[in-house]
Amino acid sequence: MAMPQTYFLNTQLEFASAHRLHGYPGDCANLHGHNWKVEVTVKGHQLDDVGMVMDFKAIKREAKTIIDELDHTYLNDHPAFQSDNPTAENIARFIYQTLAKRINSEQVQMHRLTLWENDRNSVTYEQTDD
């Protein structure tokens, strides 16, 4: 009996943007910017005829359409952050959920998204059943 197999594919993108955090008791309440790094992880169980779960170029292309909406913008003006502060947590959730709508299929699903606001601080978002 064959063991179940899962492949995790990772790719990284970057974007720059500005934001401010309403209600935050510190410097982040002021306008400031980040050079964000995004790591997208998708998973699949089956390989196609070429031997891939999904082409990295396709993952990156779909993710880039979302990242391009955020790149060199003031995040507080983006429709996704009209009622939620554009925190790293909320940005990660927005990118994950938007990308999942674009790529999820029977063959591949979003697994997790990690967003770094700098070299030391990151948040990882995934949707789980627990």
Residue 89 catalytic? no
Catalytic pick among 28, 39, 78, 89: 28
Q: How far is CA 11 from CA 43, 63, 64, 128, in A?
A: 12, 9, 11, 21
- The answer to whether the Cα torsion of 119, 120, 121, 123 is positive or negative is positive
For 19-57, write each residue's pLDDT tens digit. Answer: 999 999 999 999 999 999 999 999 999 999 999 999 999
Taking the C-alpha atoms of residue 93 and residue 127, their distance in angstroms, rounded to an integer, is 9
* pLDDT > 70? residue 130: no
Chain mean position to CA 28: 21
Given this model, what pLDDT does residue 128 score? 83
Q: What mean pLDDT is predicted for residues 56-77?
A: 98
Query: Is residue 19 annotated as a catalytic residue, yes or no?
Result: no
111 is annotated as an active-site residue: no
Q: Do 76 and 20 meet the contact criterion of CB atoms below 8 Å apart?
A: yes
Q: Which of 22, 32, 45, 72 is catalytic?
A: 72
Q: What is the pLDDT of residue 4?
A: 83
Task: Return the biggest CA–CA distance within the chain.
Answer: 59
- The residue annotated as part of the active site, out of 34, 62, 111, 117, is 117
* pTM, rounded to two decimals: 0.94
1 CB neighbour count, 10 Å cutoff = 3
